[in-house]
Structure 1
Amino acid sequence: MSNSPLLRRVERALDAIRALCMLVAGLALAVLIVSFGWLVFGRDVLNATPTWVEQLALLLICYIAFLGAAAGVREDSHIGVTLFRDMLPPQGRKIAMILVDVGLAIFGAVMLVAGITLMRFGWDTKLPMLNIPETFRTLAITSCGALVMLFAGLRGLQRCLSFASWAPDTEIEGV
């Protein structure tokens, strides 16, 4: 695709956001592992099970899953059935790939809007044992929606703008 300076800066920024998503998800996974270690130690050694670990685990899993999914959309490694797309001629493949990007961007926008609604609704409800607003759990959904909309939307726009010169065969692995 195009190698304009603006496009290179946008790509670097999106890659930095993806790396940040993976860093946060990785840190959340490390905290999850440590907290379960504390759970086992507290239960088996201290004979006092820390009850907050389960709620923290549920919260962390949300961030790990949703940030990881958003990073997967950026890397274009999300789950997809490509059998029929790969059977199309190059022009049809281009259109199919753009339609997938548009569909993902719309899905991300719906997640963003629904996530904002859930965040508003959950602000007064506290997560049990953690005593923080439910909004912190739904922030993962909202963030993922915004990132999926950004990553897929910009990739779809980039593919549309470079439609004539873009070769989809360079993006399909295993073909």
Structure 2
Amino acid sequence: MNIKSDKPSSFDRMLDQLARLAIMVADLCLVVLVFSFGWLVFGRYVLNQTPTWVEQMALLLVTAITFLAAAVGIHERTHLSVDLLSQFLNERGRLVLSLLVDLLLGLFGAALVWYGWDLIQFAWRKQIPLLNIPDGVRYIPMVVSGGLIVLFEVGRLKQGLSVLLCRRSGGARADKGRMAEEC
């Protein structure tokens, strides 16, 4: 959010839209997962012919759901956290600690992208049994989630640094010789 107003910036709105899109894709994956297991039960007990591809597809879908929801959880701050240390810090210390956590989460997201991309390249030549698609597809949600985490944490760092710099300057920012404006 902008410090000067409570209106979210266009970047913040874009991040919110990305989070909504990720949840919609995860929701769609969940619906496909439920229907595929319905087909599994129907095939096994009604047609007496079990569709063997459902298990492999279910693994792909659960992976996609998990990684996408984890990235959105970071954006919405719904993951568990231990805040024992922050209780002993003043407001500025809590803000600095929050920035450090955001930086570490951003680095974790970058590691997901980097190593996930390596996994995609390594596994792309192999096939997933019964689905006949490249095995590297398994790792695409990891890379997408890592990219989302990096973007979400860039937004948090931008916001946190704005607050920190605003408070450091005593609530006013000088803008290249212009009159100081409220943060």
TM-score normalised per structure 2: 0.85
**What is the deviation of 1:157?**
2.5
Superposition map of 1:38-77 within 5 A: 38-77=39-78
Q: Would you say the 8 A contact 2:23–2:69 is kept in 1?
A: yes
CA distance in 2, matches of 1:117, 1:25: 24
Is 2:126 the counterpart of 1:125?
Answer: yes
CA distance in 2, matches of 1:83, 1:162: 22
Residue deviations 1:46-103 (CA, integer Å, cap 9, x gap): 1111000000000000110000001111112222212222332111110110011000
Superposition map of 1:85-124 within 5 A: 85-124=86-125
CA distance in 2, matches of 1:88, 1:66: 33
Residue deviations 1:18-68 (CA, integer Å, cap 9, x gap): 000000000000000010011111111111110000000000001100000
Residue deviations 1:105-146 (CA, integer Å, cap 9, x gap): 000001100011011111111111111111211001111111
- Choose between structure 1 and 2: higher strand proportion: 2
CA distance in 2, matches of 1:11, 1:131: 40
Superposition map of 1:10-25 within 5 A: 10-25=11-26
CA distance in 2, matches of 1:41, 1:86: 55
CA distance in 1, matches of 2:75, 2:64: 16
| Worse overlay, 19-28 or 126-135 | 126-135
Report % sequence identity: 42
**What is the deviation of 1:13?**
0.5
**What is the deviation of 1:8?**
1.2
RMSD, aligned α-carbons: 1.8
Relative distance call for 1:115 and 1:3 in structure 2 (3 A) is farther
Q: Compare CA radii of gyration and give the structure with the larger one.
A: 2
Which runs of 5 or more residues in structure 1 are unaligned?
167-175
Q: Partner letter of residue 100 of structure 1?
A: V
2:174 aligns with none
CA distance in 2, matches of 1:2, 1:142: 32
2:31 aligns with 30
TM-score normalised per structure 1: 0.89
Q: Secondary structure at 1:27's aligned position in 2?
A: helix
